[in-house]
Chain A
Amino acid sequence: MCELIENQIERYETMLREMWTESAKYLGTFSVNLLVERVVWELSQEYKEIELLQYGQDGITCAGLAAGLNKNPDLPVDDMFVKFIIRYLEILARLLGHEKTEKIAKRLNEEFGRIPFDSKEE
């Protein structure tokens, strides 16, 4: 896997970890993992590699996904992660309400750049 994709995955992993940890503060680990499982299930219709995302009581990691990319280096990594984040935040907004979800999206924005969360989609 080329260094560029490796860096991309690493950046998204940090972002997902941050998102997982922030959500777990409000929802607890079980609900957050159920939410991740739901989004993975939905997105796997389009990107089956997303099923390689590992998550559990200790958080979320892209290690398996990164390894899987060796077999499919053409995977549109950005598209996949952006869709994952959008769907995750959409459901999160129903669970936590606009205010808290926007707070999480804002915090992620500060650290990672633009997070595509539109509160009107709630």
Chain B
Amino acid sequence: MPANLLLSISVKYWQDFQDTLAKVMDANIYIFDVNGGSFSRFSRPVELCQEVNKGGKISNEKCINFYKSALGSLEDKDMLTCPYGIRLYAYRLGTYAQKIGFLVITPTRNETRVEGEEKNTFVTKANSIYQTINEILKAILEKNLLGLRRLELNSIYEISRLMTSIVELDKVLDLITNSLIIIYKVELGFVGLREGDKIRVAQAKGEYGHLLIGKEWPMVQPLIEQVFSKVEPSTLRIEELMTLPGLTGLEVAPGNEIMVYPLWTALGAVGLLGIVAPVSLDDNGSKNLQIYANFAAVALANAKLIHRLEREAETDFLTGFFNKRALRNLLIVEIERTTRYGTPLSVIFLDIDDFKTYNDTFGHVAGDVVLQKTAEIIRNSIRLVDIAGRYGGEEFVIILPGTKEEGAVAVAERIQKSIEAFPFPRRQVTASLGIALAKNNDSVDSLLERADQACYQAKKQGKNRFCLDPS
């Protein structure tokens, strides 16, 4: 009965059991899934059925339609007569909360002519068969449920462990989406992170996952507002989900359920968790998924916070460039690469000319504008692979991996000319630059020292120029 996530039974083994039971009880048994589709074959030959269906499995369209319709409206149990006149005893399997499927029992010979005591005996027999099969299936269901809960607990345990150990956002996102797919076999699982006034889908897995990654949805979008208007998950129809921007091409197979969990922490909304799953969860399953979402929210909030702190710890607030500490760490990596692979490496040290006078004359706010504009000019003058940072005060350092003398001179000249030509407020601003090329056995200090010395030479020679370290 594959429509039920929790009732995974081998048809082969089930058929063996069912056939044995049918033989012992001298009755014919067959089972249908929750949608009225056939699960097992007839246990014993019924001449008329065999003729009509050409085997042990129901294949006649008239029969298929009859069972789908009759079982679909079956309350608990009923006595039915099939289109070919065979009397059937039909039972609903499972509980009201967890439907498993349907059981059909017939006598091994046509019962239409059997009446009275014999009929009563068969009804009693059919009830006993139903009790036995239902108890067995419920036991399998319970056992499977325990297995699912174990998987859920393992995953929740790992998420909670991550909260106090791994704080890498990517790993947390991966773990959450992987677990959803593995445990619940969801068709699609996605996590959106709140970034200011919007939700950005940071991770999505499943058949249409690639369509969602990177999509942005404003917090004021009606559906997003609806999701965050409560703490419980929202069950959505596909038409509702498709109102979110950028979901063209997304398809959801019929019968799938779409659930979106808002991820709340004490600090507010951290994001959302969405699943498209082929089964409805029972009460306990929904509660566990809610616990899972709560843990995921805290893990994501922690990871986001650490990520932000790390970024802030290496960023210069005024210019958005790397700060001195980050620059030195990056330079260590580049020097190591140069030593290992023998690739060239150049460093430019830049100092804004007469910055102190500018600051004293026009104020710190004006001075800050000069620093910001200078950073912008540097950013526009280098490649993506180059690294620029504010070393301190009015000093900037630019690291040029894989760049020889000619390339470094060209960059320095471009920056110097651009600063000279830029219409800074109040008065013209210039800068002096020193270039040093990495040598064998260079350390961060020795390389920066030589670039600084070359910059000093440029100042000494009259400012607004660049000099190359002569050594």
A residues with a Cβ closer than 8 A to B are 27-28, 30-31, 34-35, 37-38, 41-42, 44-46, 91, 94-95, 97, 122
A42 touches B151 (CB 8 A): no
CB distance from B38 to the nearest CB of A (A): 19
The residues in B between 142 and 181 inclusive whose CB is less than 8 angstroms from any CB of A are 144, 147-148, 150-151, 154-155, 158, 171, 174-175, 178-179, 181
The segment from B7-15, B49-57, B287-295, B298-306 that touches chain A is B7-15
The 8 A-B residue pairs with the shortest CB-CB distance, nearest first, are A46-B10, A31-B178, A41-B147, A34-B182, A94-B181, A35-B182, A38-B182, A45-B8
Known: A34-B183, A35-B178, A41-B150. 10 other contacts (CB 8 A): A30-B158, A30-B175, A37-B154, A45-B144, A46-B12, A46-B13, A91-B182, A94-B187, A94-B206, A95-B182
Q: Determine whether the beta carbon of A95 is less than 8 Å from that of B181.
A: yes
Number of A-B contacts (CB under 8 A): 60
* Cβ distance A86 to chain B, nearest Cβ, rounded Å: 14
State how many angstroms separate the Cβ of A45 from the closest Cβ of chain B. 5
Q: List 16 A-B contacts (CB under 8 A).
A: A27-B178, A28-B174, A31-B178, A31-B179, A31-B182, A34-B158, A34-B182, A38-B183, A41-B151, A42-B8, A45-B8, A45-B9, A91-B185, A94-B185, A95-B178, A97-B209
Give the nearest-CB partner of B171 in chain A: A28
Determine the main DSSP class of B at the interface with A: helix
- CB-CB under 8 A from A46, the residues of chain B are 10, 12-13
B13 to A: closest C-beta gap in Å = 6
Cβ of B207 under 8 Å from chain A: yes
- Is B210 positioned at the interface, with any CB of A under 8 Å from its CB? yes
How many angstroms between the C-alpha atoms of A94 and B140 in the bound complex?
27
Cβ of B219 to closest chain A Cβ, rounded Å? 30
Output the nearest chain A residue to B148 by Cβ-Cβ distance. Answer: A41
Is B151 a contact of A94 with CB atoms below 8 Å? no
Looking at the assembled complex, report how far the CB atom of A87 sits from the nearest CB atom of chain B, in whole angstroms: 10
B174-A31 in contact (CB<8A): yes
In the complex, A122→B188 CA distance in Å? Answer: 11
Which residue in chain B gives the minimum CB-CB distance to A37?
B151
Question: Does B205 make an interface contact (CB < 8 A)?
Answer: yes
CA–CA, A71 and B30, complex, Å: 33
B13 touches A94 (CB 8 A): no
Q: How far is the CA of A41 from the CA of B181 in the complex (A)?
A: 15
Nearest-Cβ distance from residue A31 to partner chain B, whole angstroms: 4
A94 touches B205 (CB 8 A): yes
The answer to whether A34 touches B151, judged by C-beta atoms less than 8 angstroms apart, is: yes
A107→B261 CA distance, assembly (Å): 38
Is the beta-carbon distance between A38 and B178 smaller than 8 angstroms? no
A38–chain B nearest beta-carbon distance, Å: 5
Residue of B nearest to A35 (CB): B182
Contact A95 B205 (CB under 8 A): yes
Which B7-55 residues have C-beta < 8 A from chain A? 8-10, 12-13
A27 — which chain B residues lie within 8 A by C-beta? Answer: 174, 178
Question: Which listed residue (A31, A44, A91, A122) contacts B207, Cβ 8 A?
Answer: A122
Closest A residue to B189 by CB, please name it: A94
* Residues of the B chain whose Cβ atoms lie less than 8 Å from the Cβ of A28: 171, 174-175
Give bound CA distance, A94 to B154, whole Å. 20
Please, how many angstroms separate the alpha-carbon atoms of A37 and B153 in the complex? 12
Task: Write out the residue numbers on chain B whose beta carbons fall within 8 Å of the beta carbon of A97.
Answer: 209-210
User: 8 Å CB contacts to A: which residues of B184-211?
Assistant: 185, 187, 205-207, 209-210
Residues from chain B with a CB closer than 8 A to the CB of A42 are 8
Rounded to whole angstroms, the CA-CA distance of A38 and B6 in the bound complex is: 12
Report the bound CA distance from A30 to B154 in whole Å: 10
* Given contacts A41-B147, A42-B8, A46-B10, A34 and B178 within 8 Å (CB-CB): yes
Q: Which residue of B lies closest to A39 (CB)?
A: B182
B155 and A34 form a contact (CB under 8 A): yes
Whether B154 pairs with A34 at a CB distance below 8 angstroms is yes
Alpha-carbon distance between A28 and B171 when the two chains are bound, in angstroms: 9
Nearest chain B residue, comparing its CB with the CB of A33: B154
Chain B residue nearest to A45 in the complex (CB):
B8
A residues near B148, Cβ cutoff 8 Å: 41
CA distance A94 to B186 in the complex (A): 9
Residue in contact with B140 in the complex, picked from A34, A38, A45, A91, CB distance below 8 Å: A45
Nearest residue, chain A, Cβ from B183: A38
Contact yes or no, A94 B10, CB < 8 A:
no
Distance of B8 from chain A, by nearest CB (Å):
5
Residues of A within 8 A of B206 (CB): 94
